[in-house]
Structure 1
Protein backbone atom coordinates (compact mmCIF):
# COMPACT_ATOMS: atom_id res chain seq x y z
CA UNK A 1 0.00 0.00 0.00
CA UNK A 2 1.38 3.38 -1.00
CA UNK A 3 1.18 6.22 1.45
CA UNK A 4 0.61 9.74 0.22
CA UNK A 5 3.71 11.88 0.24
CA UNK A 6 4.03 14.19 3.22
CA UNK A 7 4.07 17.82 2.34
CA UNK A 8 6.84 19.77 3.99
CA UNK A 9 5.85 22.31 6.65
CA UNK A 10 6.45 25.27 4.34
CA UNK A 11 3.94 23.89 1.83
CA UNK A 12 1.37 23.26 4.56
CA UNK A 13 1.36 26.86 5.73
CA UNK A 14 -0.93 29.05 3.72
CA UNK A 15 0.24 32.42 2.61
CA UNK A 16 -1.15 35.21 4.73
CA UNK A 17 -2.57 38.30 3.09
CA UNK A 18 -1.52 41.76 4.27
CA UNK A 19 -3.32 44.83 2.93
CA UNK A 20 -1.54 48.19 3.10
CA UNK A 21 -3.78 51.27 3.08
CA UNK A 22 -1.80 52.87 0.28
CA UNK A 23 -0.48 51.94 -3.15
CA UNK A 24 2.74 53.85 -2.54
CA UNK A 25 5.43 51.30 -3.51
CA UNK A 26 7.66 52.37 -0.60
CA UNK A 27 4.90 51.62 1.92
CA UNK A 28 4.09 48.27 0.30
CA UNK A 29 7.76 47.20 0.11
CA UNK A 30 8.65 48.17 3.69
CA UNK A 31 5.58 46.29 4.93
CA UNK A 32 6.61 43.20 2.98
CA UNK A 33 10.14 43.46 4.38
CA UNK A 34 8.97 43.95 7.98
CA UNK A 35 6.56 40.99 7.95
CA UNK A 36 9.03 38.64 6.26
CA UNK A 37 11.87 39.62 8.61
CA UNK A 38 9.76 39.14 11.77
CA UNK A 39 7.80 36.00 10.89
CA UNK A 40 8.67 32.71 9.22
CA UNK A 41 5.30 32.63 7.47
CA UNK A 42 4.81 33.52 3.85
CA UNK A 43 3.00 36.76 3.07
CA UNK A 44 1.35 38.37 0.10
CA UNK A 45 1.35 42.15 0.54
CA UNK A 46 -0.97 44.30 -1.53
CA UNK A 47 -1.55 48.03 -1.57
CA UNK A 48 -5.02 49.53 -1.60
CA UNK A 49 -5.93 53.19 -2.05
CA UNK A 50 -8.00 54.28 0.93
CA UNK A 51 -8.78 57.67 2.45
CA UNK A 52 -6.85 58.61 5.58
CA UNK A 53 -9.56 61.16 6.45
CA UNK A 54 -6.89 63.60 7.61
CA UNK A 55 -5.21 66.46 5.75
CA UNK A 56 -2.81 65.69 2.90
CA UNK A 57 0.01 66.80 5.20
CA UNK A 58 -0.90 65.74 8.74
CA UNK A 59 0.49 67.88 11.53
CA UNK A 60 1.23 66.59 15.00
CA UNK A 61 1.08 63.14 16.55
CA UNK A 62 -2.70 62.98 16.94
CA UNK A 63 -3.58 63.78 13.32
CA UNK A 64 -0.77 61.61 11.94
CA UNK A 65 -1.64 58.63 14.14
CA UNK A 66 -5.32 59.08 13.25
CA UNK A 67 -4.43 58.96 9.56
CA UNK A 68 -2.49 55.70 10.02
CA UNK A 69 -5.33 54.19 12.06
CA UNK A 70 -7.92 55.28 9.50
CA UNK A 71 -5.90 53.72 6.67
CA UNK A 72 -5.65 50.38 8.48
CA UNK A 73 -9.32 50.45 9.46
CA UNK A 74 -10.52 51.41 5.96
CA UNK A 75 -8.37 48.63 4.48
CA UNK A 76 -9.95 46.14 6.87
CA UNK A 77 -13.44 47.28 5.88
CA UNK A 78 -12.62 47.18 2.16
CA UNK A 79 -10.88 43.79 2.25
CA UNK A 80 -12.06 41.91 5.37
CA UNK A 81 -10.82 38.51 4.17
CA UNK A 82 -7.16 39.54 4.65
CA UNK A 83 -5.12 38.51 7.71
CA UNK A 84 -3.53 41.88 8.53
CA UNK A 85 -4.21 45.51 7.62
CA UNK A 86 -1.53 48.22 7.75
CA UNK A 87 -1.81 51.99 7.89
CA UNK A 88 1.24 54.21 7.45
CA UNK A 89 1.00 57.98 7.69
CA UNK A 90 3.82 60.51 7.50
CA UNK A 91 3.50 63.73 9.45
CA UNK A 92 5.29 66.84 10.59
CA UNK A 93 5.28 68.87 13.78
CA UNK A 94 6.90 71.99 15.13
CA UNK A 95 9.46 71.91 17.89
CA UNK A 96 9.79 75.57 18.68
CA UNK A 97 10.45 77.29 15.36
CA UNK A 98 11.82 74.14 13.73
CA UNK A 99 9.93 71.36 12.00
CA UNK A 100 10.38 67.61 12.44
CA UNK A 101 9.22 64.77 10.23
CA UNK A 102 8.06 61.31 11.34
CA UNK A 103 5.48 58.62 10.56
CA UNK A 104 3.01 56.49 12.50
CA UNK A 105 2.32 52.80 11.79
CA UNK A 106 -0.85 50.93 12.76
CA UNK A 107 -1.31 47.20 12.17
CA UNK A 108 -4.57 45.33 12.80
CA UNK A 109 -5.36 41.63 12.68
CA UNK A 110 -8.60 39.69 12.46
CA UNK A 111 -8.67 39.02 16.20
CA UNK A 112 -8.92 42.69 17.17
CA UNK A 113 -5.27 43.12 18.10
CA UNK A 114 -3.62 46.42 17.16
CA UNK A 115 0.10 47.15 16.94
CA UNK A 116 1.34 50.75 16.84
CA UNK A 117 4.71 52.43 16.53
CA UNK A 118 6.26 55.71 15.46
CA UNK A 119 9.44 56.27 13.48
CA UNK A 120 12.34 58.30 14.73
CA UNK A 121 12.00 62.03 14.12
CA UNK A 122 14.40 64.24 12.24
CA UNK A 123 14.58 67.99 11.77
CA UNK A 124 13.81 69.47 8.38
CA UNK A 125 15.81 72.32 6.86
CA UNK A 126 14.31 75.79 7.16
CA UNK A 127 13.41 75.91 3.44
CA UNK A 128 11.21 72.79 3.79
CA UNK A 129 9.79 74.11 7.06
CA UNK A 130 8.68 77.28 5.29
CA UNK A 131 7.11 75.51 2.30
CA UNK A 132 5.23 73.00 4.49
CA UNK A 133 4.16 75.72 6.95
CA UNK A 134 2.79 77.66 3.97
CA UNK A 135 0.57 74.67 3.09
CA UNK A 136 2.65 72.49 0.80
CA UNK A 137 2.78 68.71 1.37
CA UNK A 138 6.29 67.54 2.37
CA UNK A 139 6.73 65.29 -0.70
CA UNK A 140 5.84 68.16 -3.01
CA UNK A 141 8.20 70.49 -1.11
CA UNK A 142 11.00 67.90 -1.41
CA UNK A 143 10.44 67.70 -5.17
CA UNK A 144 10.48 71.47 -5.54
CA UNK A 145 13.48 72.18 -3.31
CA UNK A 146 15.65 69.29 -4.51
CA UNK A 147 14.47 69.21 -8.15
CA UNK A 148 13.05 65.69 -7.84
CA UNK A 149 9.95 64.01 -9.19
CA UNK A 150 7.58 62.05 -6.94
CA UNK A 151 10.24 61.60 -4.25
CA UNK A 152 7.66 60.33 -1.75
CA UNK A 153 7.48 57.10 -3.76
CA UNK A 154 11.25 56.64 -3.54
CA UNK A 155 13.65 58.04 -0.96
CA UNK A 156 11.47 60.77 0.52
CA UNK A 157 12.89 63.58 2.66
CA UNK A 158 14.85 61.13 4.82
CA UNK A 159 16.53 59.59 1.76
CA UNK A 160 17.34 62.95 0.21
CA UNK A 161 18.69 64.49 3.42
CA UNK A 162 20.83 61.45 4.35
CA UNK A 163 22.05 61.10 0.74
CA UNK A 164 20.51 57.65 0.57
CA UNK A 165 22.09 56.28 3.75
CA UNK A 166 18.61 55.85 5.24
CA UNK A 167 15.97 55.05 2.64
CA UNK A 168 12.34 55.83 3.30
CA UNK A 169 11.64 52.10 3.11
CA UNK A 170 14.24 51.26 5.79
CA UNK A 171 13.09 54.19 7.91
CA UNK A 172 9.51 52.88 7.89
CA UNK A 173 10.48 49.21 8.18
CA UNK A 174 11.99 49.62 11.63
CA UNK A 175 8.81 51.19 13.01
CA UNK A 176 6.66 48.55 11.30
CA UNK A 177 8.77 45.85 12.96
CA UNK A 178 8.12 47.53 16.31
CA UNK A 179 4.39 47.68 15.56
CA UNK A 180 4.48 43.91 14.98
CA UNK A 181 5.62 43.20 18.58
CA UNK A 182 2.07 42.48 19.88
CA UNK A 183 1.64 39.85 17.16
CA UNK A 184 5.04 38.34 17.87
CA UNK A 185 4.58 38.36 21.67
CA UNK A 186 0.88 37.44 21.82
CA UNK A 187 1.06 36.21 25.43
CA UNK A 188 2.17 39.67 26.60
CA UNK A 189 -0.33 41.79 24.67
Structure 2
Protein backbone atom coordinates (compact mmCIF):
# COMPACT_ATOMS: atom_id res chain seq x y z
CA UNK A 1 0.00 0.00 0.00
CA UNK A 2 1.91 3.01 -1.23
CA UNK A 3 0.49 6.41 -0.39
CA UNK A 4 1.44 9.47 1.62
CA UNK A 5 0.13 10.53 5.02
CA UNK A 6 0.82 14.14 5.95
CA UNK A 7 1.36 14.89 9.63
CA UNK A 8 0.87 18.49 10.74
CA UNK A 9 3.85 18.64 13.08
CA UNK A 10 7.63 18.46 13.13
CA UNK A 11 7.77 17.77 16.88
CA UNK A 12 9.71 14.50 17.32
CA UNK A 13 7.36 13.18 20.04
CA UNK A 14 4.38 13.54 17.70
CA UNK A 15 6.10 12.48 14.47
CA UNK A 16 7.64 9.36 16.06
CA UNK A 17 4.20 8.27 17.25
CA UNK A 18 2.63 9.00 13.86
CA UNK A 19 5.32 7.08 11.98
CA UNK A 20 5.04 4.11 14.33
CA UNK A 21 1.27 3.84 13.99
CA UNK A 22 1.04 4.67 10.27
CA UNK A 23 3.76 2.21 9.28
CA UNK A 24 2.03 -0.55 11.26
CA UNK A 25 -1.42 0.32 9.89
CA UNK A 26 -0.34 0.89 6.29
CA UNK A 27 2.92 -0.94 5.51
CA UNK A 28 4.80 0.84 2.76
CA UNK A 29 3.16 4.21 3.32
CA UNK A 30 5.19 7.40 3.35
CA UNK A 31 4.83 9.73 6.33
CA UNK A 32 5.55 13.36 5.49
CA UNK A 33 5.86 15.81 8.36
CA UNK A 34 5.14 19.48 7.88
CA UNK A 35 5.00 22.45 10.24
CA UNK A 36 1.52 23.94 9.92
CA UNK A 37 -0.42 26.43 12.05
CA UNK A 38 -3.06 25.24 14.50
CA UNK A 39 -5.18 28.37 14.25
CA UNK A 40 -5.62 28.33 18.04
CA UNK A 41 -3.55 29.86 20.85
CA UNK A 42 -0.09 28.39 21.41
CA UNK A 43 -1.50 26.77 24.54
CA UNK A 44 -5.04 25.61 23.78
CA UNK A 45 -7.38 25.75 26.76
CA UNK A 46 -10.40 23.45 26.78
CA UNK A 47 -11.62 20.74 24.45
CA UNK A 48 -12.97 23.23 21.90
CA UNK A 49 -9.63 24.90 21.18
CA UNK A 50 -7.78 21.59 21.39
CA UNK A 51 -10.03 19.78 18.88
CA UNK A 52 -10.09 22.81 16.57
CA UNK A 53 -6.29 22.87 16.60
CA UNK A 54 -6.11 19.16 15.74
CA UNK A 55 -8.60 19.53 12.87
CA UNK A 56 -6.86 22.64 11.53
CA UNK A 57 -3.47 20.91 11.60
CA UNK A 58 -4.85 17.82 9.83
CA UNK A 59 -6.49 19.86 7.07
CA UNK A 60 -3.44 22.12 6.64
CA UNK A 61 -1.09 19.12 6.48
CA UNK A 62 -3.24 17.45 3.83
CA UNK A 63 -3.25 20.67 1.79
CA UNK A 64 0.50 21.25 2.23
CA UNK A 65 1.70 17.87 0.95
CA UNK A 66 0.88 17.36 -2.74
CA UNK A 67 -0.68 13.96 -3.39
CA UNK A 68 -1.21 13.10 0.27
CA UNK A 69 -4.14 10.78 0.91
CA UNK A 70 -4.56 11.64 4.59
CA UNK A 71 -3.71 14.47 6.93
CA UNK A 72 -3.18 14.05 10.67
CA UNK A 73 -3.31 16.72 13.33
CA UNK A 74 -2.21 16.19 16.92
CA UNK A 75 -3.00 18.86 19.50
CA UNK A 76 -2.35 18.92 23.22
CA UNK A 77 -4.30 21.18 25.52
CA UNK A 78 -5.26 21.81 29.10
CA UNK A 79 -8.87 21.79 30.22
CA UNK A 80 -10.41 24.27 32.63
CA UNK A 81 -10.05 21.78 35.51
CA UNK A 82 -6.27 21.57 35.02
CA UNK A 83 -6.03 18.28 33.17
CA UNK A 84 -3.77 17.68 30.22
CA UNK A 85 -5.87 16.57 27.23
CA UNK A 86 -4.83 15.48 23.75
CA UNK A 87 -6.72 15.16 20.52
CA UNK A 88 -6.02 13.59 17.12
CA UNK A 89 -7.82 14.44 13.89
CA UNK A 90 -7.46 12.49 10.65
CA UNK A 91 -8.86 13.81 7.39
CA UNK A 92 -8.88 11.99 4.08
CA UNK A 93 -8.65 13.62 0.68
CA UNK A 94 -12.11 12.16 -0.05
CA UNK A 95 -13.67 14.07 2.85
CA UNK A 96 -13.86 11.43 5.58
CA UNK A 97 -12.78 12.76 8.98
CA UNK A 98 -12.36 11.28 12.43
CA UNK A 99 -11.50 12.82 15.78
CA UNK A 100 -10.30 10.94 18.85
CA UNK A 101 -9.15 11.83 22.35
CA UNK A 102 -6.24 10.42 24.31
CA UNK A 103 -5.44 10.28 27.98
CA UNK A 104 -6.58 12.92 30.42
CA UNK A 105 -4.60 13.45 33.62
CA UNK A 106 -4.24 16.15 36.27
CA UNK A 107 -1.29 18.50 36.11
CA UNK A 108 0.37 19.78 39.29
CA UNK A 109 -1.63 22.71 40.78
CA UNK A 110 1.28 25.17 40.53
CA UNK A 111 1.69 24.33 36.83
CA UNK A 112 -2.05 24.61 36.16
CA UNK A 113 -2.26 28.05 37.74
CA UNK A 114 0.41 29.40 35.40
CA UNK A 115 -0.99 27.70 32.28
CA UNK A 116 -4.49 28.98 32.93
CA UNK A 117 -2.99 32.48 33.27
CA UNK A 118 -1.65 32.17 29.72
CA UNK A 119 1.75 30.48 29.88
CA UNK A 120 2.55 27.55 27.59
CA UNK A 121 2.66 24.18 29.38
CA UNK A 122 6.02 22.95 28.11
CA UNK A 123 7.78 26.17 29.09
CA UNK A 124 6.29 25.95 32.59
CA UNK A 125 7.24 22.27 32.90
CA UNK A 126 10.79 23.02 31.70
CA UNK A 127 11.16 25.81 34.24
CA UNK A 128 9.65 23.82 37.12
CA UNK A 129 11.77 20.72 36.40
CA UNK A 130 14.97 22.33 35.12
CA UNK A 131 14.67 20.66 31.70
CA UNK A 132 14.79 22.06 28.18
CA UNK A 133 12.62 21.17 25.19
CA UNK A 134 10.67 18.59 27.24
CA UNK A 135 7.76 18.70 24.79
CA UNK A 136 10.05 17.25 22.12
CA UNK A 137 11.11 14.44 24.45
CA UNK A 138 9.21 12.91 27.36
CA UNK A 139 6.70 15.72 27.73
CA UNK A 140 4.75 16.43 30.90
CA UNK A 141 3.39 12.87 30.95
CA UNK A 142 6.88 11.38 30.80
CA UNK A 143 8.20 13.71 33.47
CA UNK A 144 5.27 13.12 35.81
CA UNK A 145 5.36 9.30 35.36
CA UNK A 146 9.16 9.15 35.71
CA UNK A 147 9.37 7.82 32.16
CA UNK A 148 6.78 5.08 32.57
CA UNK A 149 4.70 6.63 29.77
CA UNK A 150 6.30 9.08 27.31
CA UNK A 151 4.75 11.75 25.17
CA UNK A 152 5.33 9.70 22.00
CA UNK A 153 3.63 6.70 23.63
CA UNK A 154 0.75 8.90 24.78
CA UNK A 155 -0.02 9.87 21.17
CA UNK A 156 -0.03 6.29 19.83
CA UNK A 157 -3.40 5.25 21.31
CA UNK A 158 -5.49 8.13 19.95
CA UNK A 159 -3.64 7.92 16.61
CA UNK A 160 -4.50 4.24 16.26
CA UNK A 161 -8.13 4.88 17.25
CA UNK A 162 -8.40 7.80 14.83
CA UNK A 163 -7.60 5.37 12.00
CA UNK A 164 -10.47 2.97 12.78
CA UNK A 165 -12.87 4.28 10.08
CA UNK A 166 -10.04 4.23 7.53
CA UNK A 167 -9.02 0.68 8.43
CA UNK A 168 -12.62 -0.58 8.41
CA UNK A 169 -14.60 1.59 5.98
CA UNK A 170 -17.18 -1.19 5.67
CA UNK A 171 -18.08 -0.65 9.33
CA UNK A 172 -17.99 3.16 9.08
CA UNK A 173 -19.73 3.74 5.74
CA UNK A 174 -20.59 7.42 6.21
CA UNK A 175 -17.97 10.13 6.62
CA UNK A 176 -17.10 10.38 10.29
CA UNK A 177 -16.77 13.76 11.96
CA UNK A 178 -16.08 13.96 15.69
> Normalising by structure 2, what TM-score?
0.92
Mapping for residues 9-158 of structure 1, pairs under 5 Å: 13=1, 15-39=2-26, 41-95=27-81, 99-158=82-141
Q: What SS class does the counterpart of residue 80 from structure 2 fall into? A: strand
Deviation string, structure 1 residues 25-53 (Cα, Å, up to 9, x no partner):
111110111122334x2122121111111
Q: 1:177 corresponds to which residue?
A: 160
For the aligned residues, what is the CA RMSD? 1.1
Structure 1 residue 75, shift from structure 2 partner: 1.2
Q: Distance in 1 between matches of 2:63 and 2:80?
A: 33
Deviation string, structure 1 residues 114-138 (Cα, Å, up to 9, x no partner):
1211011000011111221221100
Structure 1 residue 108, shift from structure 2 partner: 1.2
> Normalising by structure 1, what TM-score?
0.87
Q: Distance in 2 between matches of 1:188 and 1:94?
A: 35
Q: Distance in 1 between matches of 2:92 and 2:19?
A: 16
Mind listing any 5+ residue stretches in structure 1 that lack a counterpart? 1-12
Q: What SS class does the counterpart of residue 101 from structure 1 fall into? A: strand
Aligned length: 172
8 Å contact kept, 1:28–1:46: no
Mind listing any 5+ residue stretches in structure 2 that lack a counterpart? 173-178
Structure 1 residue 94, shift from structure 2 partner: 2.1
Structure 1 residue 80, shift from structure 2 partner: 3.7
Q: Distance in 1 between matches of 2:62 and 2:25?
A: 21
Are 1:166 and 2:149 an aligned pair? yes
Q: What SS class does the counterpart of residue 21 from structure 2 fall into? A: helix
Q: What SS class does the counterpart of residue 30 from structure 2 fall into? A: strand
